[in-house]
Amino acid sequence: MDFNVKKLASDAGVFFTRAVQYTEEKLGQAEKTELDAHLENLLARGDCTKNWTEKIFRQTEILLQPNPIDHTGARIEEFLYEKLEKKIPLRITNAEVLGQYMQDAAKEFGPSTPYGSTLITVGEYQKRIGAVEREFIHASAVGFLNPLRNFLEGDWRIISKERRLLENYRLDLDACKARLKKAKLAEAKAAATPDFQETRPRNYVLSASASALWSEEVEKAEQELRVAQTDFDRQSEVTRLLLEGINSTHVNHLRCLHEFVKAQAAYFAQCAVHMQDLQKELSSANDDTFPNAFVGNPSMSVIAPGPSPLSTAAPPGTSPPGRTSASPGPLDPVVTLKIGEVKPPATGTRKAKVLYDYEAADVSELSLLADELITVYTVPGMDPDWLIGERGNQKGKVPVTYLELLS
């Protein structure tokens, strides 16, 4: 091993000199060379850019991967695959996990049941949303996160390294200035004319010799100062050029920000399309599933077993007023239904809790307030999506979907 003692001693001396200069500056015992205003502004702007870029980068990672534990594990996994030079496997999203759980549950409950078939449908759309989310995460990582990471781990590291060199050169420059100042003071003191009456000739000779030595020390200090000033000026220029590149960084990050917004907008738009398609599919399925499940379950039935006012309003085989025998229809009784003439059946009435506020569309309907309790029942031939609701002296049709039937 090549162990250079002289170089080690020289480096240790430089480090000690810088440490002394830094300490004296903090204690106010030494002068400090100030940077020019333009370079100071560039340094402040660079620090601001670095700090906010780092915060935006971290928060975007949290947005794309909300769970901090999963986020840390993902970063470790990416690091290992990067070191092994292998392709990072695709990660399953939370929506895809939820969709798979729903489909697995449907197999246990029975795919042919209303709940099971709905779980299968919703699970499939959750998987689609998860796939869209995965594409959004990938696009955001490539178009937005990677440029921010490259700046923090690449450009800013170079700028930080050059700033540290600039600070070291400034300490060397100020140390040289302090050394030259001390040498000049000592030279002036040694060059003072001695008093021959009070000073012996031997001391005069020694004083003249000391003056010559201090003159050589001043020349040496001036030479070191010129070298230190040159190094400091050159490093200031290098640091200034690097910091002025922050403008290009802002332009690049602006373009990446537009790409991120574009990817996010596409993600939300595709999610909205999938959810609208899911709602349409569920609505079409509800027309067949919910009424059949409501009527077919004896414990949930609200149909009166006895005769109702509508069943006695017209004899069997005759048509109610307003309808001819040539135009029968199962929903026609609803059209001719007079809410004021409807009487609650002797049995079959139930209590129901209102889930949402509902504004009546006409006089035949009953307005509802969320969380209130009403009495509901049905009559033969009535639209299965509606019930008759009573609240005190008020009576009218109410939609089934706005109610929660109580036992």
**64-102 pLDDT, tens per residue?**
887 654 555 555 655 565 566 666 566 788 899 999 999
User: Greater confidence, 222 or 72?
Assistant: 222
pLDDT score at 87: 60
Q: For the residues 117-134, what does the mean pLDDT come to?
A: 94
Q: How confident is the model at residue 286 (pLDDT cuts 50, 70, 90)?
A: low
pLDDT score at 38: 93
Residue 143 carries which DSSP code? I
- Residue pLDDT, tens place only, 334-366: 445 666 667 777 667 888 999 988 888 888 889
Mean pLDDT of the chain: 78
Q: For the residues 49-63, what does the mean pLDDT come to?
A: 93
Task: Calculate what percentage of the chain has a pLDDT beyond 70.
Answer: 69
DSSP string, 295-362: HH-GGG--B-SS--HHHHHS-TTSPPTT--TTS--TTHHHHT--GGG----SS--EEEEE-S-B--SS
User: Greater confidence, 274 or 378?
Assistant: 274
Q: Among 170, 216, 222, which Cα is nearest to 17's?
A: 170
Tell me: pLDDT of 42 over 80. yes
Tell me: pLDDT of 156 over 60. yes
Tell me: pLDDT of 57 over 90. yes
pLDDT score at 185: 82
H or E element, residue 395: strand 394-399
Tell me: pLDDT of 7 over 70. no
Q: For the residues 14-37, what does the mean pLDDT come to?
A: 75
- Residue pLDDT, tens place only, 177-208: 888 888 888 777 766 655 444 445 544 444 55
Q: Both tokens of residue 345?
A: 């059946």
* CA–CA–CA angle 315, 317, 322 (5° rounding): 80
Select, from the ranges 27-36, 241-250, 303-312, the one with the highest average predicted confidence (pLDDT). Answer: 241-250
User: Are 313 and 338 within 8 A, CB to CB?
Assistant: no
Q: How confident is the model at residue 242 (pLDDT cuts 50, 70, 90)?
A: very high
Select, from the ranges 139-148, 321-330, 376-385, the one with the highest average predicted confidence (pLDDT). Answer: 139-148
pLDDT score at 341: 66
Tell me: pLDDT of 37 over 70. yes
